[in-house]
Every structure is written in C-alpha cells, then in structure tokens.
Copies of this chain bind each other. A is one copy, B any other.
Amino acid sequence: MRKSDSGWKSDAPRITYTTAIRVRYAETDAMGWVYYANYFSYFEVGRTELIRNIWRPYRDIEKDGLRLPVVQTGCRYISGARYDDRLEITSHLSLPSMYRLRFDYEITHADEGQTIARGFTEHCFVSADGKLMPIPEDLRNKVGQ
C-alpha cells in the first residue's frame, strides 16, 4: 500500500468491517422513526466491532490509559429506519494524520438493502490526563499506514 509524498491522504488504505443491529423501541421517536441522535450510538457499535476485529477491544485500550474521544462528527439521513428493522453498519477506518482517526459509516437496511444514513466520526487518542497522544504504531501497521 503506497503512502503519498504529501503525507496522509483521503485515498489512504482503509479497513472495513460490517456488523448488524436491530432497532429498539427505545430508539424510535413520536414521528415513528429512529431519532436522529441514535444513529451516533449505532456508529459507536460499528467502530467498537471494527476496532475489536482489526486490533483489540476498546475496553483494553482504556485499561492501558488511553481514551479515544470524538472531536467531530456528521451524518446525512437518506431514508428512515423503524422499530425492529435489522440494520447493517459498515464502518471504514482511515488515519488522516499521525494524531487523527476517521471512521466513515454507512447504515443500510439489512433485508431491503437501501441506504439509511451515512456519517463519520473523527477521533484522537488522549492520555488519562487529557494529553494528545500519537496513534499507536501497531494500529498504524494494521491499517497499513
């Protein structure tokens, strides 16, 4: 996998992982659809499972004294999801800089296939006392950067 001269790029290698969830009644709202904030909770499920599968459980990362707070996020709502719908969350991980992780997500209806939402989260590693930390080398190796 090549690394461009100018450093980290959006065409950098990406890791992909897909997981599935089912919409809970708790996550719907009076309009009858999943409340818009709850997609960010689904994104969390997506990146938790991606990280677990390519590297190690996020829980263990916290035990090592690292945190991975969100610094930016966004979501576009293409169509809606309803109670009991089975959804697939496809997550992509890329490393746009030495200090920044980016997950891109696509949520689709598991049975009918249509796209429900697309979003992203950007994170950085911080130590327990809040100091910005570089991305651990073994994670960079896993992502191929």
Interface residues of A (CB under 8 A from B): 24-26, 28-33, 35-38, 40-41, 44-45, 48, 57-59, 62, 67, 69-77, 80, 82-84, 121
Contacts and interface: CB of A to CB of B under 8 A. Distances in A.
Q: How many copies does the complex hold?
A: 4
Q: Which of A29, A57, A71, A77 has the most CB of B within 10 A?
A: A29
30 contacts: A24-B41, A24-B44, A25-B29, A25-B30, A25-B35, A25-B44, A25-B48, A26-B41, A26-B44, A28-B29, A30-B30, A30-B32, A30-B82, A30-B83, A31-B69, A33-B69, A36-B40, A36-B69, A36-B70, A37-B41, A59-B82, A59-B83, A69-B77, A69-B80, A70-B77, A72-B74, A72-B75, A72-B76, A73-B77, A74-B74
Contacts of A77: 69-73
Nearest to A72: B76
Looking at chain A's contact residues, the main secondary structure is: mixed
Given A25-B35, A69-B80, A71-B77, 4 more contacts: A24-B45, A31-B69, A36-B70, A40-B40
Given A28-B30, A30-B29, A35-B25, A75 B76 contact: no
A29 B48 CA distance: 15
